[in-house]
Structures are given as structure tokens and as C-alpha cells.
């Protein structure tokens, strides 16, 4: 949705051109991207993870050989990016076309396992001598590895192999579907991962400065995920200034995306990378089909934007782009998921035509992305059940803009798109109060809707928090980053995949309570019904006081718990502070809690103890 927020495309491209003039691109991240101190990880990772080095020193390749590799002169930490320079003596008219130039590197693990990774063409903007072939790889195990350059010609050309050492490093791995609870995400090591974050789709003034500011603020406040677009006005590789199938004129944008990945990796933030914007293939209001190089009016192959998924030339060209994207950024453990389309239903491409395209492109992507990152695409609302059931789609994705979504109250068992929706993780890719505009104003400057969306989505079984859309003119402008901090602190050390969303009985009509329960533990969130963005806006419109009535002696009852005594720790979601502790007994599977007085909301953790009641009323946390 949110389409009216866009400035005119021409203005955006002009701003980007001005930005490009000011940039000084280099292969490594600039100081503006890496100088901010790295925070102590919160709930995003189960333990502290040592950062990867900014670069690995290389011994030069053999320039006299037809095919050769640079060699690391120091050990490469496990699951850190190794970027090797691939010398290829042969020259190609279009190095982005794998039918003409198919350069790969075969990596051999200490146990003999072989992984073949596509290389990519890197065009340096200011120093042509630094342009050339590169390959990126994050070795998954420690020990002595071997790398062999390959040029897929007839016959196959093979260069001299190199060896390098991979040092041990304690890192959780790539993000997967949870092995024990398919509604959630987990790392390779089985640790549950619950993403907390928002959209950071594109920048406005300066890519390096804007993303450094946003990701630093997000990470410093416990956030660990951002959704980013490869749209024509941001990181897109192919548009009218490139022609089709050649990305020379967009290499600066690719360099900026390199920097974004480097910063995300340093800051412990995971990226959902959206590859196609719906606006590119819409010929109605808000669309930019008239600017699209695939349009026949721009000498492209398509007269109708919907033919993008059926036309053989268009499919081959996108497969080429997809291979390049996977070769350049598929190394990263901090890539949470590839997103094929943003809000694909807006393009009017029909499901029978879309599904074969998804199968074909997933085959291309799986071959190029040796790390098999998760794959998703997005719809507004419930989406298409035929698409969701495809084995090529790992993660469902929902977008919604609503003042009163139904998941702001508890749904037994958690939110589902439809009754027959497949049992897959549900990523909440976009959310907002309005899809038209949500700039900062008197009624919303406290961030009530953002706050309630974060907490309600966590308590209703989504695989991520609801990722707010209005990142710049609202979250950043209003300095609302602390809204992420309290939820991250509350959920630290909790494994959400072990809980079930459960309604909480409340004896107060002016309070709304939600719970996550397992046999020996419960998490509770209760808020005043008055603490609602729409109701607060109405109070302001009527010039009424915006202070809320204090809720006192609210009793909450949770079912499904083992009998026994429970320690209950109360938490203030507004300040992120623990308040007080008490003990309560579960009788007949029912645990009754009496909430301290509150104006906006409260949260609590109840954990079964192995002893009788002993905690003083204010024993603290």
C-alpha cells in the first residue's frame, strides 16, 4: 500500500544522482558505516557473537595465468565473508551474462564436501584497475579449505587451486524455518530467532549516512531486522539508465548495498531483501511502468506488464539478474530472506501465470544461492492460498494498514491468514495506521500504534513483529526507536517457539489482555482499552484531556499451566523497567494474577518455582 507517499520518480533519481557525486566508493565499508560501537546483542542472538573483520588481507593472484585466485594471508573466521579476486584473462562483451561469462569457484571443505559458488563482475566506479571478477563465500566450518577457479566453457577451464585456513568462530548460522515449531524461525544451531524491527526500504538524502543512523538506532534499541527494497529509486540494478541485462551504470548502488550488508552484519541486524517493486509493473496510478526498460515503448520486450512472468526473454533477463544478486549477497548469514515481489497482487499478474515463474526462478536462485536463504513474497492481507502452499515459498508474508486490526486482541492458537493456511512462518512485512501518510503529528507523536503493534504481534504467534512502514517521517522523525527496546528486553532469553498464544481472562472491561503459555511458564501483556491511537486522536479532536484513567486491581486468569507456585515479575513496557515480583499459585491449571495499577500497559513473566511461596511482595527482579 502506502503508494501516495512516494515523491516523483524523476525527483528521486535526481536526488540519487546528487548523492552519487558526493560518494567516494571503495570496496570496503566507509567509516560512516562502521564507526558506531557495536551493541551488546539482545534477544536477536542467543549469545554474544564476535564481529567479522572488515576485510581479509589477500595475496595477489597470478596475472600471467589464464585463470587464478587471490589467497587469504590470514585465517578466515568461520561464517565471515571471504571475498577472493578471480583473475580471468579472457574478456567478455557482457560479463553479467552467464551464457557468455560463467565464472565460478569450487570450494572444498576439510571433509571433502564441495560447494560451487558463482562469481560476479565488480565494476569499480573510480578506479577501473580495481574492477574484475570476485567471489564471496562464508565458510561454514573450521579447518583447511581449498578453492579452485572455474570458467564454464567448452571444454571447462580450471585454474590452479589455493588453500586457506578457516578459524573457529561461535556463530549461530543462517536463518531457517524452526525445526520444532514451523510457525517460527531459528538459526542453523536450532536457537529460536524472533525478528524485531521495521522497514528501511530506501534512503532519502545519503545512503551511507541515512542507513548508518537508522541501523545504529535500531540495533541500540534491541531491534534486529529491517526490510529493504531493490527498487529503481534505491538499490535496483536494472532500469532505464542501464538497459536490460547489463548493470554497469548501477554498480554504485550495488556498492551501497555492499555497505548496508556490512553495517547490518556489524550491528546484528538481519535483512529481508525485496527484489521487485509492484510499481515497476503497474500501468495504473502510482505505477512506473512507463519508465520500465522492459516496456516495449522503451525498446523492451513487453507490451503488457503482466507478460513479465510469461515472456521468455523477460524471464531469461530476470534469471540473469537473480543469479547476480545471489552471487553478490547470498554469502551473508544476515540475509534473512529473499522477497521476490512486494505486494504482487497490485500488478494484476494472475496466479496461474505467477506460479510457474516462481518455480523457474526458485530453481535459478537455489543453484546460485548455495546457502539456501529463505524465500518469501508479499500480499496485502491474506494473499493467495495456492501460492502459499508452494514448496518454493518458505515464509508467508502479510501487509496490513489498519487502525483496529483484529490481532490487537488475543486469537486462540495465534493469527492465521486463513483456516487452511499452510503451517509456515508468517512474516509481518508492513504495518501502519494509514497507507496514505503517517507523518508525525500531535496525535501520534507518542508512538501508541507502533507500540501496540509490536507487542500484539509478538503475542499472537507471528514469526516477526509487525514491521512498521513509516520509518523516516514517523519513527525516525519522532525518535520512537525506544519502542523497540522494551519489547526486546522483555523477550530476552525467552523461546517464543515453545509457547502457544492463549486468551487471558480479564475482570475489567477497560483492559485488554493477551498471553503466551506453556506448561511451566507464561508471558502476559495487558493494556488499557483507552491506550489506543484512534481513541487518543478522537480525544485530541474533542479537546479532551489525554491523560488516561488508572486501571487498579485488574485480575487476570491464565489457563493451561501446571499446578504449583509461580514467581511473577511485572514489567513496564513504557520504560523497559522491571517493577516488582510476587508469587501466585496455579490451581486446577488456572493461574490468577493481580496487576499493579497502570495507566497504559503492563507485562509480566510467570515461571514455575520449585519451592513454596517465599518471595516478599517487593523482592525485585
pLDDT of residue 49: 81
Q: Residues 175-210: pLDDT tens digits?
A: 999 999 999 999 999 999 999 999 999 999 899 999
CB of 237 closer than 8 Å to CB of 324: yes
Three-class secondary structure of residue 262 per DSSP:
helix
> 399 with 356: CB under 8 angstroms?
no
The highest-confidence range among 33-47, 283-297, 540-554, by mean pLDDT, is 283-297
What are the distances in angstroms from CA 413 to CA 402, 558, 590? 22, 14, 18
User: Which residue stretches of 101-206 are H helix?
Assistant: none
| pLDDT tops 70 at residue 427 | yes
Q: Which of 128-132, 339-343, 579-583 has the lowest mean pLDDT?
A: 128-132
Percent pLDDT > 70 in the chain is 90
* C-alpha separations of 518 from 410, 498, 562 in Å: 16, 7, 9
Note the pLDDT of residue 601.
Answer: 97
Question: What is the rounded CA–CA span in Å between residue 330 and residue 332?
Answer: 6
Instruction: Say what the alpha-carbon torsion angle 508, 514, 519, 522 is, to the nearest 10 degrees.
Output: -90
8 A C-beta contact, residue 246 and residue 254: no
Q: In a 3-state reduction of DSSP, which class is residue 552?
A: coil
Cβ neighbours around 469 below 10 Å, total: 24
3, three cell numbers: 503508494
Of the candidates 252, 27, 291, the residue with the CA atom closest to the CA atom of residue 136: 27
Q: Which residue in the block uniquely carries the three cell numbers 536494472?
A: 238
In this predicted structure, the answer to whether residue 419 has a pLDDT above a threshold of 80 is: yes
Contacts of 616 (CB under 8 A, 6+ apart): none
Predicted local confidence at residue 20, as pLDDT: 37
The radius of gyration of the chain's CA atoms, rounded to the nearest angstrom, is 26
pLDDT 10s digits, 498-525: 999 999 999 989 999 999 999 999 999 9
Alpha-carbon distances of 563 from 500, 594, 604, 621, rounded to whole Å: 18, 18, 19, 23
Q: How far is CA 383 from the centre of its chain?
A: 19
State yes or no: pLDDT of 589 exceeds 70: yes
Closest CA to 106 of 119, 87, 91: 119
DSSP 542: T
CA distance 191 to 172: 7
Encode pLDDT of 54-112 as tens digits.
889 999 999 999 999 999 999 999 999 999 999 999 999 999 999 999 999 999 999 99
Task: Please give the full DSSP string across 338-359, using - where no structure is assigned.
Answer: EEEESSGGGGT--HHHHHHHHH
CA distance 562 to 290: 63
Residue 8 has pLDDT above 50, yes or no: no
* pLDDT surpasses 80 at 225: yes
Q: Which of 481, 477, 472, 440 is CA-nearest to residue 217?
A: 481
Contacts of 129 (CB under 8 A, 6+ apart): none
pLDDT band at 22 (very low <50, low <70, confident <90, very high): very low
Q: How far apart are CA 110 and CA 484, in angstroms?
A: 42
pLDDT digits (tens, 9 = 90+) for 298-309: 999 999 999 999
Cell numbers for 187: 538459526
The pLDDT, as a whole number, for residue 212 is 97
Say if residue 417's pLDDT is above 60.
yes
Say how many CA atoms lie within 13 Å of 520 toward its Cβ: 6
Nearest to 582 by CA among 601, 596, 569, 563: 569
pLDDT for residue 26: 30
pLDDT at 243: 84
3 state SS of 594: strand
Contact of 376 with 177, CB cutoff 8 Å: no
pLDDT confidence of 611, banded at 50, 70, 90?
low
Secondary element (H or E) of residue 326? helix 312-329
Q: Report d(CA 198, CA 387) in Å as an integer.
A: 25
Pairing of strands 500-503, 511-518: antiparallel
pLDDT on residue 196: 98
Contact 555, 603 (CB under 8 A): no
Q: Are 10 and 239 in contact (CB under 8 A)?
A: no
Confidence of residue 48 (pLDDT cuts 50, 70, 90): low
The pTM of the full predicted model, rounded to 2 decimals, is 0.91
Q: What is the pLDDT of residues 237-294, one digit of tens each?
A: 999 999 899 999 999 999 999 999 999 999 999 999 999 999 999 999 889 999 999 9
Q: What domains can be seen in the chain, in order of their start residue?
A: 3-46+195-494 (3.20.20.80), 58-167 (2.60.40.10), 501-608 (2.60.40.1180)
Handedness of CA 338, 342, 343, 347 (dihedral sign): negative
pLDDT, mean of residues 322-333: 98
pLDDT of residue 547: 83
- The residue that leads in pLDDT, 127 or 508, is 508
Q: At what angle do helices 533-541 and 448-458 cross, to 10 degrees?
A: 160
Give the pLDDT score at 539.
83
d(CA 224, CA 198): 9
Q: Name the pLDDT band for 124 (thresholds 50, 70, 90).
A: confident
Other CB atoms within 10 Å distance of the CB of residue 543: 6
For 51, what's the count of Cα atoms within 13 Å in the CB-facing half-sphere? Answer: 17
Q: What is the structure's pLDDT at 2? A: 45
**Can you tell me the distance from the alpha carbon of 123 to that of 105, in angstroms, rounded to the nearest whole number?**
19
Q: Is the pLDDT of residue 454 over 60?
A: yes
State mean pLDDT over 397-410. 96
Between 4 and 564, residue with greater pLDDT: 564
Amino acid at each position: 500500500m502506502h503508494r501516495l507517499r512516494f515523491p516523483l520518480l524523476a525527483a528521486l533519481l535526481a536526488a540519487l544522482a546528487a548523492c552519487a557525486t558526493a560518494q567516494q566508493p571503495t570496496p570496503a565499508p566507509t567509516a560512516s558505516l562502521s564507526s558506531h560501537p557495536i551493541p551488546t546483542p539482545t534477544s536477536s542472538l542467543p549469545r554474544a557473537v564476535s564481529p567479522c573483520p572488515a576485510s581479509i588481507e589477500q595475496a595477489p593472484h597470478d596475472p600471467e595465468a589464464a585463470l587464478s585466485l587471490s589467497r587469504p594471508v590470514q585465517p578466515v573466521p568461520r561464517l565471515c565473508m571471504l571475498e577472493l579476486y578471480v583473475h580471468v584473462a579472457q574478456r567478455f562483451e557482457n560479463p553479467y551474462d552467464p551464457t557468455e561469462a560463467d565464472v565460478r569457484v569450487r570450494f572444498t571443505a576439510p571433509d571433502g564436501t564441495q560447494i560451487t559458488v558463482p562469481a560476479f563482475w565488480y565494476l569499480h566506479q573510480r578506479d577501473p584497475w580495481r574492477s574484475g571478477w570476485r567471489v564471496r563465500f562464508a565458510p561454514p566450518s573450521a579447518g583447511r579449505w581449498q578453492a579452485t577457479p572455474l570458467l564454464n566453457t567448452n571444454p571447462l577451464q580450471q585454474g590452479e587451486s589455493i588453500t586457506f585456513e578457516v578459524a573457529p568462530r561461535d556463530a549461530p548460522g543462517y536463518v531457517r524455518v524452526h525445526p520444532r515449531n514451523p510457525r517460527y524461525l531459528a538459526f542453523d544451531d536450532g536457537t529460536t530467532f524472533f525478528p524485531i524491527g521495521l522497514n528501511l526500504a530506501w534512503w532519502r538524502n545519503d545512503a551511507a549516512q541515512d542507513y548508518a543512523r537508522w541501523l545504529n538506532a535500531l540495533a541500540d534499541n534491541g531491534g534486529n531486522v529491517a526490510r529493504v527494497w531493490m527498487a529503481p529509486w534505491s538499490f535496483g540494478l536494472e532500469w532505464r539508465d542501464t538497459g536490460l541485462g547489463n548493470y554497469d551504470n548501477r554498480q554504485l548502488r550495488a556498492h551501497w548495498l555492499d555497505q548496508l550488508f556490512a553495517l547490518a552484519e556489524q550491528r546484528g541486524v538481519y535483512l529481508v531483501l525485496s527484489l521487485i517493486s509492484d510499481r515497476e509493473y503497474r500501468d495504473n496510478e502510482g505505477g512506473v511502468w512507463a519508465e520500465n526498460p522492459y516496456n516495449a515503448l522503451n525498446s523492451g520486450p513487453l507490451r503488457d506488464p503482466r507478460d513479465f512472468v510469461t515472456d521468455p526473454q523477460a524471464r531469461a533477463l530476470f534469471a540473469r539478474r537473480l543469479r547476480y544478486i545471489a552471487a553478490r549477497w547470498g554469502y551473508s548469514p544476515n540475509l534473512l530472506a529473499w522477497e521476490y515481489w512486494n505486494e504482487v497482487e497490485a500488478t494484476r499478474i494472475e496466479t496461474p501465470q505467477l506460479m510457474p515463474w516462481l518455480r523457474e526462478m526458485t530453481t535459478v536462485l537455489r543453484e546460485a544461492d548455495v546457502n539456501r536463504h529463505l524465500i518469501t513474497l508479499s500480499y496485502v492481507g491474506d494473499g493467495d492460498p495456492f501460492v502459499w502452499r508452494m514448496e518454493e515459498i518458505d515464509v508467508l508474508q502479510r501487509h496490513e494498514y489498519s487502525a483496529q486490526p483484529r490481532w490487537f486482541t488475543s486469537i486462540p492458537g495465534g493469527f492465521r491468514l486463513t483456516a487452511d493456511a499452510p503451517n509456515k512462518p508468517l512474516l509481518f512485512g508492513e504495518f501502519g495506521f494509514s497507507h496514505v501518510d503517517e507523518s508525525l503529528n500531535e496525535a501520534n507523536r507518542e508512538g501508541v500504534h507502533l507500540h501496540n503493534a509490536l507487542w500484539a504481534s509478538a503475542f499472537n504467534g507471528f514469526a516477526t513483529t509487525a514491521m512498521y512502514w513509516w520509518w523516516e517521517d514517523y519513527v525516525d522523525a519522532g525518535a520512537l526507536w525506544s519502542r523497540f527496546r522494551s519489547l526486546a528486553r522483555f523477550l530476552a532469553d525467552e523461546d517464543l517457539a515453545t509457547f502457544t498464544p492463549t486468551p487471558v481472562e480479564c475482570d475489567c472491561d477497560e483492559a485488554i489482555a493477551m498471553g503466551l503459555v506453556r506448561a511451566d511458564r507464561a508471558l502476559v501483556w495487558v493494556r488499557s482499552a483507552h491506550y489506543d491511537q484512534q481513541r487518543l486522536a478522537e480525544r485530541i479532536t474533542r479537546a479532551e484531556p489525554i491523560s488516561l484513567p488508572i486501571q487498579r486491581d485488574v485480575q487476570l486468569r491464565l489457563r493451561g499451566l501446571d499446578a504449583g507456585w509461580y514467581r511473577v515479575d511485572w514489567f513496564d513496557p513504557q520504560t523497559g523497567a522491571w517493577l516488582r515480583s510476587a508469587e501466585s499459585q496455579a490451581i486446577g491449571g488456572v493461574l490468577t494474577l493481580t496487576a499493579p495499577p497502570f495507566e497504559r500497559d503492563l507485562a509480566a513473566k510467570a515461571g514455575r518455582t520449585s519451592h513454596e511461596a517465599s518471595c516478599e511482595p517487593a523482592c525485585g527482579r
